[in-house]
Structure 1
Amino acid sequence: MRVEGGHWSWRRGIPLRYLLVAEDRDGEEHPWGGCADVERLFVDPVPLPRETLTFLGCSPDGPLRDALQQPAGAVTRLGDMCVEISNGERPVEWWDLADVVVSGHRPSGGDGSLVDVVVEAAVTDPDGDSGSGSDRAELGASSRYGLFASGDLSLGSCTGVEGLRVDRPEPAGTPMELIGCEPTELLREAGRDPQQVQWLKLWALDRHGRPMENRTLVLDPLDPLGLMSSRPSALGKDLLDITLAHGAEAPPSPSVRLAWDAWYKGAPSEPNLWARYDAEGRRAWSRLAYHNTAAPDLDEVGGTYHLDGRFVTDPEGLHCALAEALRGPGAYFGSDWQSFKDCLAGGFGAAAPFTLHWHDAEAARDSLGDDVTYLGEIVRYLEARGVTVILR
């Protein structure tokens, strides 16, 4: 295994598809080995359990305020939302809540202007795991909880969220197997000083041996790899098949593998190739574009662009279509609300003011369903930045 001009390869008749890379405590990256394939890296996500939360001392706004005005006993869906926690000086934590349902509300304490809102949702810990919460920010009496829907739409604020910052069971890891792995000496010595390893990542390579995407692996404090077994590989002499106990921290879904396979052949040159994938695959497409799109020399100001809205069926597809309209197939121009705003600020090839012809906009509105608000927020933000949006 060797590197030449940023391309990894080996002198064998099989392609090198993945590269195992460790980062030490000093931030230096070291290749631990390359392999021909990986089994059980791509797994169907396990649905998060539904939990009951209570927004305490809430001043509701927007769709949340509207939900509380429904008849008694009505159940209202808010969709996905975010809880932004500030320590009195700045935001310190962001919690994602999926498929939020308002199930009840009551007056809050002695203040008739505030309300406690009971919701059910799937909660994503911002630390990426359950843990004990020992690394979470210290909060005091001045802390505030901001509530936001997709597109940074305010849902109000509250003084606390009961049931949010609690310990959650550690999800079971999925063992992963590196097939046809050529280890470096560093991999062979990995168990001798595990405390020196800060991160362990698996990079997917394209057919030219260029890194195109990565996933962080679960790091065992006593054994960085969590090595379960190692045996000679049928793919060639001196190659090993290595089984790791824990696998990736956030295992990609099978649809992500389809996107990786498409990019393995090289950056796409045809439009709408992302349209065949589900939301996870489209999100992976944007990540691939981010890692593999070169920064432009200059922004074009005052241009005219055309967006194909036929396949905009979710927010992920909306961002794929926007990137393709503004920069071309396989390009990156944000993958969510915040990164899209960052790109529109300049440095990514297109800068306001410009004109955007949005074709088949009605099809996009019909497909987005509950996410149609997100579409409206994007259009309003474009127009606020000086972009002329023509819906066709």
Structure 2
Amino acid sequence: MMITVHEDGEQRGQGRYRLTDTEDGHVWGVCAEAEGLFGEPRRGTYELFGWVPEGAEVRGWVGSRVWLVPDDRTLDPWLLEDAESLAPYPGPDGLVLTGLDDYEGPPEGYRGPVRLHDGRRWLGSCREFARVLPPEHAPPPLVLRGLAPSDRLGRALAAGTRRARDLEEAWLEIRDDRGEPLTDRLLRPRIRSWRASSRGTDLIDLELDGELEPVPEHAWPTWRRWLTGPPETPGAWAGLDTRQRGAWLDLVRERGCRIGHQDRPPGQAYELDGRHITDEPGLYLALGEAVNGPGGYFGGCLDALVDCLRGDFGHTAPASLLWRDAAAAREHLSRVLAPEGESYDLLALVLEVLAEGGMHVTLA
């Protein structure tokens, strides 16, 4: 599936995409449409033999973070992100998982027994696993359609040399329909080709190579919603599943770290709607909206929450937070699993961090 992300007619002239040199801020060009931004990232595959499930069958999407814990505990666990279970299975007691390996991946040469969990429950164990390396394939190019090029880019295209076509490092900045910054992607763009565009006079279609990690296609519905502008009412994410909430939180985080926040004076009273906190993304989405309104950001993990409490994200200590319907978070987040598999109380840790950051919390 090729997803082309574009603007509506009113915003087309302003350009949703801006290609900007990271070194000097020069804008190479602005355009309204892009192809190749979405796709399937390079996923690793694991074949698990002698699979023994613990509880429910592991089928379909498994979780955003699945930890593989070696049985002997002499090696650290490793992470498989956005994990899915695929058919066919290797024998009657086998399981096939695909996902995004973390930067370390599995220990070199290790094939022994492992136990798996998704941060909330143990999924099962296997006597042996094999990691199948994904096939090498060139990612599709990024095509910026209807690009209004800068004079500097025009000179580079006219020169046509390999050196002139290497733009070294650039940000692809992405704005919503209101022209406000949403997110960006870091590129090392090399010009593959260009041609006159049918989008308008003096515009070009610019085709780039450049190590772009595609946005997963499953995130497209969330992006489509955010490209129209930030939500105007709280809880727009509440009906999403955990995978989609994760994609929503990614955009909230990226936008929240780009826009400026004016810290409010001390003594603010916030109110949190806790009805939909059934997973970790929901926790941080609800907390962000309580402090900074619909679509607001106030941390996406414990470390980020600590940073937000220190200032520059709308909060100034001391303040108070009324956490309504806290029973949902107690039910779903009071017993989660650390990477090694030890159980801990995430809700209690969040409350501790908030208190240390000058936020007095009342649970209701």
CA 1:174 to 1:366, structure 2 compared with 1: closer, same or farther past 3 Å?
A: farther
CA contact (8 A) 1:274 1:285 kept: no
Are the aligned partners of 1:50 and 1:120 in contact in 2 as well (CA < 8 Å)?
A: no
- TM-score, scaled to structure 2: 0.65
1:69-108 alignment to 2 at 5 Å? 98-105=65-72
Match of 2:268 in 1: 303
C-alpha contact 1:174 1:247 (8 A) present in aligned 2: no
CA shift in 2, pair 1:202/1:50, >3 Å: same
The 3-state SS of whatever aligns with 1:300 is coil
Alignment of 1:209-248 (within 5 A): 209-217=179-187, 219=188, 224-227=189-192, 229-246=193-210, 248=212
Cα deviation for residue 226 of structure 1 reads: 4.3
Distance 1:348 1:322, change over 3 A: same
- 2:177 paired residue number: 207
- Cα distance, 1:31 vs structure 2: 1.0
Indicate the SS of the match to 1:203: strand
Residue of structure 1 equivalent to 2:74: 116
Work out whether 1:180 is the aligned partner of 2:146. Answer: yes
Which structure 1 residue ranges, 5 or more long, are not aligned? 1-9, 53-72, 77-96, 106-114, 130-148, 151-166
* Residues in 1 aligned to 2:268 and 2:30: alpha-carbon distance in whole angstroms: 44
The 3-state SS of whatever aligns with 2:32 is: strand
Alignment partner of 1:278 out of 245, 259, 262? 245
Taking the aligned partners of 1:210 and 1:118, their CA distance within structure 2 comes to: 42
**Could you tell me how far 1:360 is from its partner in structure 2?**
2.3
TM-score (normalised: structure 1): 0.61
Cα distance between partner residues in 2 of 1:274 and 1:311: 9
* Alignment match, 1:348: 313
Amino acid at match of 1:201: W
Over residues 224-265 of structure 1, what are the superposed CA-to-partner deviations in whole Å (9 max), with x where a residue is unaligned?
4241x32332322232223323462x3223454444444444
Contact 2:269 2:320 in 1 (8 A): yes
CA distance in 1, matches of 2:11, 2:206: 19
Distance between the aligned counterparts of 2:15 and 2:35, measured in 1? 15
Structure 1 position 12, deviation (Å) = 9.4
Give the aligned length.
Answer: 286
Change (3 A) 1:243 1:373: farther
Deviation digits for residues 100-149 of structure 1 (CA, Å, limit 9, x no counterpart): 232321xxxxxxxxx723745434228xx9xxxxxxxxxxxxxxxxxxx9
The reply to whether residue 376 of structure 1 matches residue 343 of structure 2 is no
- Measured on the aligned residues, the alpha-carbon RMSD in Å equals 3.9
Which residue is equivalent to 1:144?
A: none
* Inter-CA distance 366–226: structure 2 relative to 1 (3 Å threshold): farther
Q: What's the counterpart of residue 39 of structure 1?
A: 35
2:103 equivalent to 1:125: yes
**CA–CA distance in structure 2, aligned partners of residues 98 and 266 of structure 1:** 29
CA distance in 2 between counterparts of 1:341 and 1:31 reads 35
Query: Does structure 2 retain, via aligned residues, the 8 Å contact 1:18–1:36?
Result: yes
The 3 A distance-change label for structure 1 pair 40 and 104 is same
Q: Which residue in the other structure is 1:63 paired with?
A: none
**Corresponding residue for residue 67 of structure 1:** none
Q: Matches of 1:278 and 1:389 in 2, distance apart?
A: 24
